[in-house]
Chains A and B, each alone.
Chain A
Amino acid sequence: MRAATIAVLVENEAGVLARVIGLFSGRGYNIDSLTVAPVDAEGRLSRITVVTSGTEMVIEQIKAQLDRLVPVHKVSDLTLEGPHLVRELALIKVVGTGDHRVEALRLADAFRARVVDATTESFVFEMTGNAEKIDAFCALMRPIGLKEISRTGAVAIARGTHALMG
């Protein structure tokens, strides 16, 4: 078993995300996270980042199955292809007063999380990082008033000059 971060460049058309998700659910593959957004100037191309896991044979299958979808331009297994960056954005709401509030701010500072909203009884922190960093921050916030989490799931890109298309 291994984890794989797969980047998929697709036509930005109706139903394309349903095709990708349907493929995963129909064939029983895991989705740990999935993100999608248009990435070119004309809005014709979207990039999907899927984090999945499975045996080597299953991951090969996932890539081959994705690649044969008609609106798919390119499939790239970033995990296999070399050094790459993975980032995720999280918005984290912490509610509390007194010492807990001070502690929350101190921890946020240590994790380089920014305060993007505040009331006398709450903060919303914004942070980016890999999944482990966000997990760790949330774990620390839990006993001091963690109320709600919203995460984007991973986006990823290869290091260096190499690009998905050309």
Chain B
Amino acid sequence: MSATTQHADQTPLTMSGAEVVLRALKDQGVEVIFGYPGGAVLPIYDAIFQQNAIRHILVRHEQAAVHAAEGYARSTGKVGCVLVTSGPGATNAVTGLLDALMDSVPLVCLTGQVPTHLIGNDAFQEADTTGITRPATKHNYLVKRSDDLARVVHEAFHVARSGRPGPVVIDLPKDILINKAPYAEAPPATQPHRSYRPQAEPDMGQIRKAVALLKASKKPVVYAGGGVINAGPEASRLLTEFVHLTGFPCTNTLMGLGAFPSQDKQFIGMLGMHGTYEANLVMHGCDVMLNMGARFDDRVTGKLSHFSPGSKKIHADIDPSSINKNVKVDVPIVGDAGRILAAMIQAWKEDTTTQDREALAAWWKQIDAWRAKDCLRYVQQGKIIKPQHAVKRLYEITRESGRDTYITTEVGQHQMWAAQYFGFEKPNRWMTSGGLGTMGYGLPAAMGVQIAHPDALVIDIAGEASILMNIQEMATLAQYRLPVKVFILNNEYMGMVRQWQELLHGGRYSESYSAALPDFVKLAESFHGVGLRATSADQLDDVIREMLATDRPVIADIAVAKDENCFPMIPSGAAHNEMILGPGQEGGVAGVTDEGKVLV
């Protein structure tokens, strides 16, 4: 095609496909793209070069582009945007896409593709990107006609952000990017999609049923997850209002941390495999459970057949396929967590039956007795730094600093300690790979957060093994002067692997030792950052303070106790009331059955 190509309505087309893509991104509110160039996407890079509305952040590996977009999306509530080339560019992005799918993060990822006439020919850097990413995305598109281009981009954003958010891939053959294409505005919000119509508004009958159950409860619990955070900050405010209105205890999932303030006296901590003693026993012993935007994940339920055996369960979720997937529930509510919470507050106030406040007081007495176990207690003595202590001091010192703080993590023990010992009072401040458990998530995610919040304090709490999985992004931090802090709990082990080998595999530490580690201080310096190190407890606070005072990328290498385990722990295949507590604390110590051993 040439510049003289005319569209159906006879108006000459003036924009190339690449320009149409950029215009559509701009109209969708995109300000930043994380990407990496290559042959198939050169037309888009050429168009990026000739405009100023959209900023491009050059990462050092496509996986990092996707995690950065996730960090950006989760800390802002906006759709994250990624641009990668065909073939290896697209396949490198797959881990990030699946991570975003599992954790319901809205992304649009543009992938280059060989020109349409070469598709299927095993052309250079060709991959069946829509085939490969189909189970790793909420939806994907291969644009084969220029006429579809603008519509597809707009639709991709709608699909990514609405309903249960998720990643969407648009595969763009190079000829489609070069040829002229018509531009079309996004369809008005009032015009529904032909087939995709997620339900956001809850059914009031179900809301009233739920409220009636909760009013009559004697031992209730609110179990809130990432759905509340995805519903926007107002949903978190409504959750807090509802929990205060009812007087119920509230626990959060790993993904839900920050949806309810950690300092609130009705907060009983995170639940699940490494959740608090009180949260898990409340879940086990409750008579009515309100699941608000969580999905009864296996890390949360433990042994399904023994999960909260005596409770009536209410499950509010935007995704109907999450309901009755793992756990049979009594009152399902499909809808947006914010709208459900607003409706429940109203219904609670309108419901004339009185709450059994006496039973609730007795329930709180029981909860306080469980709390008194102080399950997260640890003893810091001597020079060796306990990892828990390192996170706790990091939390306390950042709190004292009063700065708006965003935490990302890698995956493993340090992640669980961060979840246990770092408190969050607001949503969107905590970014971690929950569903997929992707080592290497934290540094690029922190990068994305820092781009979105240039003045905020952004810390990646990391392990020495995970951090090496995307360490190349230190160069990106340097290029864009992003003062991200990497706080490594260095125990010279893949700690969680080592912990499972100790508890489940007879202490045979097969391949879990971090040998030949780099000197992280020198590594930071060689990437134009600042390296700090603490090897004994008396140095810890100074290192943290210096890290916070440094307005550049920092790696703080914290040498921590090598054999520390993460407790409490519900071993695989065990129930909530069979938690293992830390040394010196009694608890129902469960043996791990063969049945449990096969679980991950």
Contacts and interface: CB of A to CB of B under 8 A. Distances in A.
Interface of A: 10-11, 14-15, 18-19, 22, 26, 57, 60-61, 64-65, 67-73
B194 A73 contact: yes
Contact of A64 (B139, B193, B194, B323): B323
B134 interface: yes
Contacts of B164: 68
A7 to B, nearest CB: 15
A65 B321 contact: yes
A60 B324 contact: yes
A14 B142 contact: yes
A19 B164 CA distance: 18
B320 A18 contact: no
A15 B142 contact: yes
Contact of B131 (A18, A61, A65, A71): A18
A9 to B, nearest CB: 9
A72 to B, nearest CB: 6
A162 B163 CA distance: 29
A65 B324 CA distance: 12
Contact of B195 (A14, A22, A60, A70): A70
A17 to B, nearest CB: 11
B324 A61 contact: yes
A22 B163 CA distance: 22
A67 B320 contact: yes
A61 B321 CA distance: 6
B159 interface: yes
Contacts of A71: 195-196
Interface residues of B, number: 23
A14 B328 CA distance: 36
B28 interface: no
B135 interface: yes
Interface string B141-180: 0101000000000000001000110000000000000000
B319 A68 contact: yes
Nearest to A18: B134
Contacts of B319: 68
A80 to B, nearest CB: 15
A26 B101 CA distance: 15
Contacts of A72: 195
Contacts of B324: 57, 60-61
Contact of A11 (B131, B163, B195): B195
30 contacts: A11-B195, A14-B142, A15-B142, A18-B131, A18-B134, A19-B134, A22-B134, A22-B135, A26-B135, A57-B324, A57-B325, A57-B328, A60-B324, A61-B324, A61-B325, A64-B320, A65-B321, A67-B320, A67-B321, A68-B163, A68-B164, A68-B319, A68-B320, A70-B138, A70-B139, A70-B193, A71-B195, A71-B196, A72-B195, A73-B194
Given A61-B321, A68-B321, A15 B130 contact: yes
Contacts of A14: 142, 144
Interface string B318-332: 011101110010000
A60 B332 CA distance: 13
A70 B155 CA distance: 11
Interface in B574-594: none
Contacts of B193: 70
Contacts of B320: 64, 67-68
Nearest to B198: A68
From B134, B144, B194, B321, name the one whose CB has the most chain A CB atoms within 10 angstroms: B321
Those 7 A-B pairs whose CB atoms lie nearest each other, nearest first: A64-B321, A70-B139, A73-B195, A70-B196, A64-B320, A65-B321, A26-B135
A148 to B, nearest CB: 31
Contacts of B144: 14
A64 B195 CA distance: 14
Contacts of A65: 321
A15 B323 CA distance: 27
A15 B134 contact: yes
A68 to B, nearest CB: 5
A3 B181 CA distance: 48
A55 B296 CA distance: 19
